[in-house]
Chains A and B, each alone.
Chain A
Amino acid sequence: MKTQRKYRWLIHLVLILLSFFTLGPFLWMVITSFKTFDESIRIPMTWLPEVWQTANYVEVWHKFPFFRFYFNTFFVMAVVVVGQLLICSLAAYAFARLQFPGRNAIFLFCLSLMMVPGQIFTIPHYEIMVKMHLVDTVTALWLPKLFSVFGVFMLRQFFLTLPRELDEAAKIDGAGYLRIYGQILLPLIKPALISLAILTALTTWKDLMWPLIINSSYDKLTLSAGLGLLIGEHTTYYPLVMAAAVLAVWPMLVLFFLLQKHFIQGIALTGTKA
């Protein structure tokens, strides 16, 4: 879209203000994390720390099992992503390409589950974990998250766009359904798989309520839940809290910078295919 020259500076101005509005809180987090406690509550307020000291990071790292938080978060993310991709793509292939009695009814029923808010399932999930003796384990973090109707719906749309001749040709060559799925169709919907992987990873990364409910030992928490608990204990020591926040947000920001195109495609996909 071409824009008249006289408006350009105005657009720049608005965008700079907007960027500052988004970036500001992040900057304030980083700046505060390098301040001493005394500096953070000094009146009148000082903008920058006198010395950029890293003591808060050292303290937070020693006080909380951050290494476990990282490990748990990424482990759970990996299991949920791989599990969902596998389970959803298999089902999506069947719904898109195979004929079987009850196909449309089953698919519609699955779709209707998407309308149910997740909190409906929270108490029963908790009780299931109690029965399986999985409360306060890492397994409890990923097990109920493996099954995504949205994932099936999205991948099915992509399978539907592929030409039928692919299946037919492979069938004539003697390939079974599993081969057609795994070796022929799946590689062709790789962009959709990447998008779903990123979306799922982001959802898992952000989830707060479930890990907070199901696990209570510090070494069984994710970054998100770890921050949630920490807030209760050290809420007034903001430089410490901000250092913890920095430690919790940087991995995904780095991933975002590296894979920006895929992130944007992934998030955008939720909108365009609906």
Chain B
Amino acid sequence: MLQRKRCSRQARREAVSAYLFILPLLLGLGVFNVYSFGVNIYYSFTNKSSFGIPNWVGLKNYIDLFQNEKFYSALSNTFKYVVICVPCVVILSIFVAVLLNTNIRGRGVYRTLVFLPAVTMPAAIGLIWKWIFNYEFGILNHLLSGFGIEKIAWLSDPEYVLLSVCVVVIWADVSTRVIILLAGLQNIPDVYYEAARIDGANSAQIFFRITLPQLSPSIFFVTVMEIIGIFQIFDFIFLMIPRSSSGVSHARSLVSYFYEAAFQEYKKGYGAAITLVLFLIILVVTIFQMWMQKKWVHYE
């Protein structure tokens, strides 16, 4: 009896301490995540603008959204970014990571160089590439003219503008993903490779039968990160494609559209509705990925 009492007093003391320890986090998440999430849903049903009290408008924002051509182009552009960038980034990162994992001379230098974009702010990357892509004086058009290729308006021609953004995304993202994959490669035990070589496996067999399956958890993770990241693509579009550009409707993503609506046109209720659509898309993708993971990833 006494024992149990002391035990429960002890347990209560532990619980109280624990609640105190998680209190700062829960307060912050409560205000900046839970409350904010609720408020955002509420806004999406109102005509909230910059000032004044928002009025309830029911589903009007969502109806407007699905009748707006800009929304459909932003939606389809976003999917195009995902479809183009994700495979390129993932495949290139695997390729680069495998190369950087060979015991070749000077790989420390190669690694450092390849990692540079991972620590550079997108704002600067966007500016640099905007200059590279410049129609009249850009170095890219200059280099291409050496091959007899006519000048291309990379950042305003509707045919190229989305691809140009993709190039920058790939350039910037491969770097971070390589770091994660390299760590994954270094965790593969050497014995697997030795055993395979003794059995007379060639490089291709080793890559497809050992490296790839062993690396699949990291590859899966990198793919998920990349998909979710690209669904939220904004920085490079904002920096490189001015709103006055004739290519803007072919480059605008969902998040760019959200930014324009909520913070340039001050239609915040409408903006909130866009973010909820984005949330639902990401939710569906996440659930799909969890389901895929079971089939696809090789865990020890």
Contacts and interface: CB of A to CB of B under 8 A. Distances in A.
A227 B123 contact: yes
Contact of A11 (B104, B124, B132): B104
B275 A98 contact: no
Interface in A66-120: 86-88, 90-91, 93-95, 98-101, 103, 106, 110, 113, 115-120
Given A115-B282, A149-B29, A228-B239, A32 B131 contact: yes
B179 A253 contact: no
Contacts of B112: 257, 260
A147 B29 contact: yes
Interface string A13-33: 011001101110110110010
Contacts of A152: 25
B123 A121 contact: no
A52 B176 CA distance: 33
Contacts of B24: 86-87, 90-91
A12 interface: yes
A46 B226 CA distance: 38
Contacts of B14: 98-100, 177
A18 B234 CA distance: 26
B134 A238 contact: yes
A51 B28 CA distance: 54
A18 B96 contact: yes
B276 A213 contact: no
Interface in B125-143: 125-132, 134, 136-137, 139, 142
Interface of A: 1-4, 7-8, 11-12, 14-15, 18-19, 21-23, 25-26, 28-29, 32, 40-41, 43, 45, 86-88, 90-91, 93-95, 98-101, 103, 106, 110, 113, 115-125, 127-128, 144, 146-147, 149, 152, 176-178, 181, 202, 205-206, 208-209, 213, 223-225, 227-228, 231, 235, 238, 241-242, 244-245, 248-249, 252-253, 255-257, 260, 263-264, 267-272, 274
Given A124-B40, A263-B118, 20 more contacts: A3-B103, A15-B99, A19-B109, A25-B132, A26-B120, A98-B15, A99-B14, A100-B14, A101-B15, A103-B18, A110-B29, A113-B34, A118-B232, A121-B33, A123-B40, A208-B235, A249-B124, A267-B179, A268-B182, A272-B184
11 contacts: A7-B203, A22-B171, A25-B132, A26-B116, A99-B18, A110-B29, A113-B34, A122-B258, A127-B39, A224-B121, A248-B123
